[in-house]
Structure 1
């Protein structure tokens, strides 16, 4: 799947960037006839405002055209384009560093110390590891071991 992910990022990233958005991340869930390709876009750093439905529609049309021509996914799927939202998923080491201090839910691909799910505060990044403080313990999770991570929104 890592190869497919890289291929999709290489195809979709330039399209999103050419429309003056940032590609935040890509999720592909292969589930037969119910497969979903979900693309998260965000505003460029330093740009005010958020992502609107119109922004998502514009990106969806352009990406759909590229995917139709390149055909990287042979099975049927639904294309979804959205903003990362307040409970944004984290995909890259840079994003974890950017969200240092935030509380996150993390699900691992394989159990670590008998658990796959953790909730903690992102402390930062060391080499290829995400540093998370869980119950006053500092844990290092290799980025490739993280299946899914989402910021827990705060409404202070």
Structure 2
């Protein structure tokens, strides 16, 4: 079975379980690295993810994967937090981070800039709205945005 089909089957069967446990499936990947296969689940929730959260999801998902048996070759199952510096890809990611400081990277310049930083205020299917440091709201079309990620301040 191809990688896309494996991911489709795994997502369709495991995402509802993960959501029932109170988490979001942020990303899923099936990769080969140094000769070994890895099935990686990246989970999130408001307030962050702990090692206990990862262990809980891993144990339950492992049982479901044993039942489904969608992957012919042996593989390692990994469940983890997606990390602070990962791109925000889905509407769930954006919703979870309303009020947080984000950086928008653009495909082309708007008003002479390819990068904008501000507080994520709102989003729609078409636009992202941020509050910039000068207290002005900036609405940017999603078609111009190449990447959105959290700004980590220490």
TM-score, length-normalised on structure 2? 0.60
Q: Distance in 2 between matches of 1:41 and 1:92?
A: 13
After superposition, the Cα gap between the structure-2 partners of 1:140 and 1:71, relative to the gap in structure 1 and judged at 3 Å, is farther
1:120 equivalent to 2:132? Answer no
Q: Distance in 2 between matches of 1:42 and 1:150?
A: 15
* 1:63 Cα deviation after fit: 0.8
After superposition, the Cα gap between the structure-2 partners of 1:59 and 1:138, relative to the gap in structure 1 and judged at 3 Å, is same
Please name the residue that 1:82 is paired with: 80
> Which residues of structure 1 form unaligned runs of 5+?
none
Superposition RMSD in Å: 4.0
* 1:68 Cα deviation after fit: 2.6
Please name the residue that 2:56 is paired with: 58
Whether contact under 8 Å (2:102, 2:148) holds in the other structure is: yes
Whether contact under 8 Å (1:93, 1:130) holds in the other structure is: no
Structure 1 residue matching 2:142: 3-state secondary structure:
strand
Please name the residue that 1:27 is paired with: 28
User: How many residue pairs end up in the alignment?
Assistant: 142
Please name the residue that 2:39 is paired with: 37
1:150 equivalent to 2:152? Answer no
Whether contact under 8 Å (1:37, 1:80) holds in the other structure is: yes
The structure with the largest alpha-carbon Rg is 2
TM-score, length-normalised on structure 1? 0.59
Whether contact under 8 Å (2:88, 2:148) holds in the other structure is: yes
